[in-house]
Amino acid sequence: MITIRGLKFRTLTIGHLDVPPGWTVLAGLNGSGKSSFIECFTGFSTFSGEISIDAKPVGGCPTGWLPPFPDRGFVFNTVEDEVASPLRFAGVPCKETQRRLLVLAERAGILELLDREVQTLSGGEKVLAALATALATDPVVLLIDEAFSSLDPGTRDRVEEVVRVYGPRYVIEATHDTGRALMRDQVILLEKGNILAMGPPQEVIGRLRGTPFEPLEMVIDGAGL
């Protein structure tokens, strides 16, 4: 269980929140606090309050992160060096690093891309390479901040399958795509830094019925088409 108590960061204010294992979506308008919520887990920012993951402080838990433009975070020239970098930084022996690199690349479907320069990859290939990198150290939490928004449907399905099959115990995704939110395990609806609702997707996204943000899937279903 992810436990949040007395959290204050920028406009985000959360008194008490328990997030169960699974794929959780953060939904809400721009400025609602989605990216701030994710940033609290990255270790890059200081916040007040407490966040624990399975009773361990968030700072002591390995975390994978897919930012809005994953390729902007690439450090190395080739896909192989990029995906292997978290393992090398962690001091994993060379043979074990190479073994795990090949496993990660096979799972993400990028074995044939390992020798490529990262800037020559397509948008979808960059996301897959970034995902393999994020999963390299077996994180407890995978953070996804609008990283899928520019993908075509086929590539998005492929990336989401990798997350579903090989992802960690907790996945937290910020997205404007309320239609995709219907396919997740739970949804947290944010507004101006506060939580309006949390629960099953149909229940929470149902609050958007009749608004411009109602998913097309719900509009079609309601029309009986």
- pLDDT average, residue stretch 8-36: 93
- Per-residue pLDDT at 30: 85
**Both tokens assigned to 208:** 């958007």
Question: For the residues of 93-131, what is the DSSP string, one character each?
Answer: -HHHHHHHHHHHHHHHT-GGGTTSBGGGS-HHHHHHHHH
**Both tokens assigned to 179:** 């239609």
Convert the pLDDT of each residue in 162-190 to its tens digit.
999 888 999 999 988 777 788 899 999 89
Read off the pLDDT band of 29 (50, 70, 90).
Answer: confident
* Better pLDDT: 114 or 219: 114
Question: How many DSSP H helices and E strands does the chain contain?
Answer: 8, 10
C-alpha to C-alpha distance for 4 and 49, rounded to whole angstroms: 8
C-alpha to C-alpha distance for 66 and 91, rounded to whole angstroms: 22
- The alpha carbon of residue 26 and the mean position of all alpha carbons in its chain are separated, in whole angstroms, by 10
- pLDDT average, residue stretch 62-90: 91
- pLDDT average, residue stretch 28-57: 91
Read off the pLDDT band of 211 (50, 70, 90).
Answer: low
Convert the pLDDT of each residue in 115-155 to its tens digit.
999 999 998 999 999 999 999 999 999 999 988 877 888 88
For the segment(s) 2-73+138-223, the CATH number from 3.30.1540.20, 3.30.70.1150, 3.40.50.300, 3.60.9.10 is: 3.40.50.300
C-alpha to C-alpha distance for 132 and 111, rounded to whole angstroms: 11
**pTM of the prediction?**
0.87
pLDDT at residue 221 tops 80:
no
Phi, psi of 71 (to 5 degrees): -65, -20
